[in-house]
Structure 1
Amino acid sequence: MPLGIIDDNKLEHVPGTAPLSELSRTDLEVAAGVDRGLLKHDPTGQIVLVPQPSDSPNDPYNWPRWKKEMFTIVIGYGCGCVGAIGPLLTPAFVPLATQFGVPLQRFTLGCNGSCIVAIAAGSLFCNTLAVKFGKRPIYLLTTLGLAVTCFWAAEVKSFGSLAGARALQGLCMAPFEALIPASVSDIWHVHERGFRMAIFNLGVLGGINLAGPIAGSVIEKGSYRIAMHGMGGAFVVMLLLVIFFMPESTFVRHDVINIDTTGHTVEVENPEKGEKSMRIEGRPTSTAASEPRQSYVSELKPWSGYWDKVSFWRTLIRPFFLILSPIVMWATLLFTICISWLVLISITLSQIFSAPPYNFSVASVGATNVSSFVASVLATLVAGYVVDGVATLMSKRNNGIFEPEFRLPVMISYLIFTATGFFAWGESLYNEDPWPIPVIVCMGLINLGVQLGTTSVVTYVSDCHREQSAEAFAIMNFIKNLFAFGLTFYANDWIAVQGVRNCFYVIGGTTIAVTLTTIPMYIWGKKARSWVYRMGVIDAVLKKAG
């Protein structure tokens, strides 16, 4: 029973479990039938690389460090732009609804609701295309689409045209929510992912939080059209970064020692020949090492030539079968709660702070998000080290064996910070406390907890379902955005009818109840991973050719 996790006795090896640190022990047999010297380690020689990279110089796991870091920087910038475009207009919802001559609830639904539901649909559609053709062409096309729709939205003459532009924007935003975690897993090993997942989350949350202060001032002193033109320019820059610094990360590995996703202690797989060897006596012979290194210029091609043999329609339904996994089911619940309440806050900020006793201007409403951004940055500085550090420390105490559930203790921070923030937010606004209390203290606590919580959840899913991470995040984003879309129907009226305290007391209580499900997930998570592997239904859909 490794540190409170109930062990499994039905598989020789449970997918996700892997050696991480050898602890300088010379007597440690990492896997039966595999000499320790056959496994590849990090430069220190102390941490086993999980997953094991191939010998190919073109394997993203073997990319130079600068190339991986540049890829991650583009992710951070791109997700920041995508995070910003969603709530860009929220500080001005009240005056813009008046300008377009529609009720506030209808404007919220058309401006943000159409965008959110399109993200949900786009998560599935773009994932299907990415699995079939690779991720790079999807990133390129959708980034171009984001630039075009921003310029379109800036020049609309009617509310219907604005809603249409926002819907198409949502479709193009989807890959930067659903595919990025899979891209991070494509290039970073298990012990390196926590910080990079935190960068992804910072991009999304930072964009959400910075959009308000910047756009609020621009809209108040100029117009929303200027703000949209500015976002269009930002996406043009993003397109250039994607072209030059985000090569294709999808890669088919040959003759690689599999120590984490197999049901056996070790396997050596050849994806093309469909061969598997359960035990090896030496490092597998491979021609991958002799492959010529792909030139930088060749990596600039929009499409690398990658092709998945599974049929389009089978690929489209793959994410729905991932929800059968208890891990994905739990993560979807937590991920939905983590993010959707932030959406509710963003679409009600103008309603709350434009009214008495605060009477904020458009710029001041937007500026309320500054504290959220600062909290997200602070959380990012520690999230990666905490998520990776806790997992590494627990692995050492577990005789050098990593369990994905070691990512979950960080959820304690989410429970404490976020739940406290929601209760305090509702109470302070009800009492009409001075604005620094709800804005700085409460929103800071909420965003601090959300950043830590989402990093933990996203990294856990990547560790449990590395080979199906794209499908897992597609279905997670699909459900999360459907839930957020539902919020746009009643969020403003909910607060108007029941009051802000009752509303956020319900949200705080719901957050506590949902987060407590982490306890059984931690205890029975390993058995859940074993059950998913033994069930075989997911693999039948994911791997069968169409």
Structure 2
Amino acid sequence: MASHQDSLEVQAGQTTNQLDTDEVLKRLEKLKDVYGATWDSPNDPEDPYNWPTWRKVWTGIIFSFGQLVTLMSSGMMAAALDEISHDVEMGSSTTLLASSIYFLGLATGPLFIAAWSEMDGRKHIWIFSNFWYILWNSVAPVRNSKALLISGRLLSGVGASAGIALTQPTMADMYGKSHRGRSIALATFLPYLGPALGPIVGGLATGYVIVLLGILTIKESYTPVLLKRKAAKNVDRKKNDEKHSSPDYWVFWSQLAAQFLVNLKRPALLLVKQPAVQLIALVMALNFGTYVLMISTTALMWLNRYHQSATESSLHYLAFSVGATISAQVGGRAMDWSYKKLCKRYASQGQAHPELRVPFMLAGAILSPIGLFWYGWSADANLHWIMPDIGAAIFTSGNFIFSQGMAAYLLDEFGEFSASATAASRIFSYAIGFVFPIFAPQLYNNLGYGWGSTLLAMLTVALGIPAPLVLWLWGPKLRKLGR
């Protein structure tokens, strides 16, 4: 499968603005052939690349807040598993299942959401999915029903996955490659806080407000859909007026269903045919699974080992928030800086490949196991509470920097089909997010926090460091294999 976004031509000494202009000019040439319309000029205000900064930032904030609210649900049960088990009269294993099954919804939902967004755009499916999440998350705790709790968690996860499938691709709709770090930082800062803030705050009221603001203020940003609409407006209206026959709704819906099925297969095809996507999906799964395991066990560690109250233990999730803040605010700027430097260094090759994201990934791959060692052995030795928190912050920062680098790689490579690529890369992540919390307590019960975290750190080193090196050395060959 061919790369879906032309590589950016880079000449020595070019400025960042020139790089972005070159990218836009190439887009204009390609889009005219594909969609029958293009933007009027590189400065066309209707092109999302040219939207005012305030609109881009506002779109990122709305999508990020929406994802924050939905991802809170992934961690909101962690600190209250004992109470839920008692209230609903479920065993501990069933309660863990009810908590982690949310991730199965997150794993499957992006397949459908990405397919629809690449057919109808980002906004409508985002609104529908968020309403779906609110509905089922509201229904789940009704009447203390086991079946309703489990099914409600699963279906609310499907709706919540809209943020996963759409937030970063939507930011890529508006920002060029040289500002990818800025856009990812804006898109991921708040969502990354979701699992950490869930045990502290929870609630759905914010969700209603965010969806309402999205309906009223967010514009469609997906270029293929915008250009198809523009092309339709340019059709000779007189010819349409001459057609007096009523529309064939059966043909319309048949064509719509056929197109949806084609889009639905795209993430699976990317995962099956693209070795680079397979590698990224594997390492992102381990990366995310480790994070979920940490989130799901931290409260129990503070309760059982440090003998703190439930309220006190939940406050330690703020350590993960600190790490997320560092990765977003520092990591995003570092990504753009490293990309621009590498573009100039490799200008003689004439192209800027997705592999230029690899050095940034490596920084996260190194920080993450350091944080795991620090966290685990500090807790094992019962050191002052600040020490495990520092380890958790370092781990989270490295974990998210690594994910940001992988996300930028996919966005650079797959362009307009980045939602499908994102969905494909996240299937394993959320499947493992479903499994990891179930056996997480046994991991630390059997090995202790020191050796348990050491095992996770060694797995992270074994996969997290070689994977970026493989992409750096053989990334272009891997991408060509899937064409």
Pair 1:109 & 2:109 matched: no
Per the TM alignment, residue 138 of structure 1 is displaced from its structure 2 partner at its CA by: 1.0
In structure 2, the CA distance between the partners of 1:361 and 1:46, relative to structure 1 (3 Å rule), is: same
Matching residue of 1:292: none
What residue is the counterpart of 2:152 in the other structure? Answer: 165
The residue number in structure 2 matching 1:365 is 313
Superposition TM-score, scaled by structure 2 size: 0.84
Counterparts of 2:480 and 2:7 in 1: how far apart (Å)?
A: 10
- 1:21, 1:47 within 8 Å by CA — same for their partners in 2? no
Please, what is the CA RMSD of the aligned residues? 2.9
Q: Contact conserved, 1:179 with 1:474, CA < 8 A, in 2?
A: no
In structure 2, how many angstroms separate the alpha carbons of the residues matched to 1:70 and 1:468?
A: 23
The 3-state SS of whatever aligns with 2:56 is helix
One-letter amino acid of the structure 2 residue matched with residue 55 of structure 1: W
The answer as to 2:129 corresponding to 1:129 is: no
Q: Deviations over 1:44-81 (max 9, x none)?
A: 54644425354244332232332222111112212221
- Equivalent residue for 1:258? none
Aligned to 1:423: 373
CA distance in 1, matches of 2:302, 2:476: 46
| One of 45, 51, 63 as aligned partner of 1:75 | 63
In 1, Cα distance between the equivalents of 2:88 and 2:11? 60
CA deviation vs aligned residue, 1:363-396 (integer Å, no higher than 9, x gap):
1121111121122112211111111110111111
Q: Do 1:327 and 1:529's aligned partners in 2 also have CA atoms closer than 8 Å? A: yes
Any conservation in 1 of the 2:130–2:162 contact (CA below 8 Å)? no
Q: Is the 8 A contact 2:71 2:194 kept in 1?
A: yes
Q: Which residue of 2 aligns with 1:245?
A: 217
- Counterpart residue number, 2:364: 414
Structure 1 residues 46 and 328, CA gap change in structure 2 (3 angstroms): closer
Q: CA deviation at 1:21?
A: 5.6
One-letter code aligned to 1:104:
S
Distance 2:19 2:264 in 1: 41
Residue matched to 1:295: none
1:3-22 to structure 2, matched below 5 A, reads 17-20=7-10
Give the AA of the match of 1:321: L
C-alpha deviation, 1:497, in angstroms: 3.0
Residue identity opposite 2:275 in structure 1: P
- Quickly say closer, same or farther: Cα 1:155–1:254, change in 2 above 3 A: closer
Does structure 2 retain, via aligned residues, the 8 Å contact 1:22–1:46? Answer: no
Identity across the alignment (%): 20
CA distance in 2, matches of 1:55, 1:495: 57
1:522 and 2:469 matched: no
Change beyond 3 A, Cα 1:396–1:114: same
Mind listing any 5+ residue stretches in structure 1 that lack a counterpart?
1-10, 25-40, 216-226, 256-270, 274-286, 289-306, 534-546
- State the distance in 2 between where 1:200 and 1:83 align: 13
Deviations 1:416-466 (A, max 9, x none): 21101112222222222222211x211011111112111111001110111
Preserved CA contact (<8 Å) 2:4 2:417: no
Instruction: State the Cα distance separating 1:85 from its structure 2 match.
Output: 2.0
Work out the CA distance in 2 between the residues paired with 1:244 and 1:137.
Answer: 12
In 1, distance between residues paired with 2:477 and 2:104?
A: 34
Q: Is this contact kept in 2: 1:132–1:310, CA < 8 A?
A: no
The one-letter code sitting in structure 1 at the alignment partner of 2:310 is V
CA separation of 1:16/1:445 partners in 2, compared to 1, >3 Å: closer, same or farther? farther
> What is the distance in 1 between the residues matched to 2:138 and 2:166?
25
More helix by share: 2
Residue equivalent to 2:420: 471
Report the Cα distance in structure 1 between the residues aligned to 2:313 and 2:61, rounded to whole angstroms: 29
Matched, 1:99 2:47: no
Q: Distance between the aligned counterparts of 1:388 and 1:363, measured in 2?
A: 39
Deviation at 1:113, TM superposition (A): 2.0
Deviates more, 1:92-101 or 1:480-489: 92-101
| Residue of structure 2 equivalent to 1:316 | 264
Question: How far off its partner does 1:15 sit?
Answer: 6.1
Which residues in structure 2 correspond to 1:122-201 (within 5 Å)?
122-201=109-188
Verify the 8 A CA contact 1:83 1:203 in the aligned structure 2: no
Once residues 147 and 170 of structure 1 are traced to their aligned partners in structure 2, the CA distance between those partners, rounded to angstroms, is 10
Residue type of the partner of 1:241? L
The one-character-per-residue Cα deviations of 1:112-169 (angstroms, maximum 9, x if unpaired) are 2221111111121222222232221111111112222333245442233222221121
- Structure 1 residue aligned with 2:399: 450
Runs of 4+ off more than 6 Å: none
Q: Give the whole-Å Cα distance in 2 for the aligned partners of 1:469 and 1:254.
A: 17
Q: Matches of 1:45 and 1:315 in 2, distance apart?
A: 34
Specify whether residues 45 and 416 from structure 1 end up closer, same or farther in structure 2 by C-alpha distance, changes over 3 A only. Answer: closer
